[in-house]
């Protein structure tokens, strides 16, 4: 599938190894040794421990030259001299970035299938194990079941639609990325963009629940022992690992036991 078609359907495209290790290391050295004016990405929540700073002009110009082919793939007429490159830094133990999209969508003025109808985001990883959580682009809420984990290595480039829903992951160590917007924008928008509500719609199994596993049975035990005795006397089911399951609180074990019980009850 061509890059533009991938961007139209998935909302993002990953290019591997765009920056060499030397170039990525040089970008990190500039961010560490230069006296850059770091500011909070979200002024309303400084505890998020995420800051940004503009990349100096010369390194930013070199980045534009290195990435010229990739930029012109999606924005052929883009004036690279107007690109504003920024460092995005998250400190150790920072939480995940709030789920958001960089630009709001208007169904009256934007062609949803035209990737250039909104400015796009370009993100470069300067170290391995950089993670971005994606949730698609063609809806107004985010669901955990739709989450895509985008794993980047040093020098990888992530190209995202402007309406792509995403959040950068938090780490137990400092993480540094390089970011810019592509397209016709007069001023750089707020990093947080448009917040998108995220819902956890994944089914869960409570290993401590006293409800009987057998379909149609409404028995609810007050203790693990009561539920175990009910299963043994009423359904002829013997669970040897019941207590171990309760201690580990592993939903997968409880789900496996429920499946065994349903099969036994059928016979």
Looking at the structure, tell me whether residues 211 and 231 fall in a common domain: yes
Looking at the structure, tell me whether residues 87 and 181 fall in a common domain: yes
Looking at the structure, tell me whether residues 94 and 30 fall in a common domain: yes
pLDDT-derived band at 127 (thresholds 50, 70, 90) equals: very high
Over the chain, what is the mean pLDDT?
78
Contact 203, 145 (CB under 8 A): no
Structure confidence by residue, pLDDT tens digits, 182-226:
876 644 555 567 788 888 776 655 556 678 877 778 888 888 788
Question: SS3 sequence, 35-83?
Answer: CCCCEECCCCCHHHCEEEEECCHHHHHHHHHHCHHHHHHHCCCCCHHHC
DSSP 240: T
pLDDT-derived band at 178 (thresholds 50, 70, 90) equals: very high
Looking at the structure, tell me whether residues 22 and 65 fall in a common domain: yes
Task: Find the domain containing 119 and state its range.
Answer: 3-199
Average pLDDT over residues 142-171: 89
Structure confidence by residue, pLDDT tens digits, 235-247:
887 766 544 444 4
Domain boundary residue among 172, 199, 226?
199
Q: How many independent structural domains does the chain possess? A: 2
Name the pTM for this structure.
Answer: 0.69
User: What tokens does 166 get?
Assistant: 């995403």
Looking at the structure, tell me whether residues 15 and 70 fall in a common domain: yes
Looking at the structure, tell me whether residues 85 and 153 fall in a common domain: yes
């Amino acid at each position: 599938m061509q890059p533009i078609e991938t961007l139209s359907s998935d909302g993002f495209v990953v290019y591997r190894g765009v920056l060499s290790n030397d170039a990525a290391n040089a970008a990190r050295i500039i961010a560490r040794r230069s006296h850059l004016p770091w500011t909070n990405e979200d002024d309303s929540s400084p505890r998020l421990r995420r800051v940004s700073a503009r990349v100096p002009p010369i390194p930013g110009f070199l980045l534009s030259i290195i990435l010229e082919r990739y930029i012109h793939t999606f924005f052929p007429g883009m004036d690279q001299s107007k690109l504003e490159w920024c460092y995005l830094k998250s400190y150790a133990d920072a939480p995940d970035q709030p789920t958001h999209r960089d630009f709001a969508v208007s169904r009256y003025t934007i062609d949803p299938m035209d990737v250039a109808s909104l400015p796009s985001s370009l993100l470069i990883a300067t170290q391995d194990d950089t993670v971005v959580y994606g949730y698609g682009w063609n809806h107004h809420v985010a669901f955990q079941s739709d989450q895509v984990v985008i794993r980047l290595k040093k020098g990888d480039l992530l190209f995202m639609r402007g309406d792509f829903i995403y959040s950068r992951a938090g780490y137990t160590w400092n993480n540094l990325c390089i970011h810019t917007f592509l397209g016709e924008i007069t001023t750089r928008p707020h990093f947080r963009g448009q917040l998108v509500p995220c819902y956890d719609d994944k089914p869960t199994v409570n290993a401590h629940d006293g409800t009987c596993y057998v379909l149609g049975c409404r028995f609810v035990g007050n203790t693990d022992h009561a539920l175990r005795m009910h299963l043994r006397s009423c359904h002829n089911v013997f669970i040897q690992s019941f207590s171990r399951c309760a201690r580990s609180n592993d939903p997968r074990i409880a789900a496996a036991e429920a499946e065994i019980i349903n099969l036994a009850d059928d016979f």
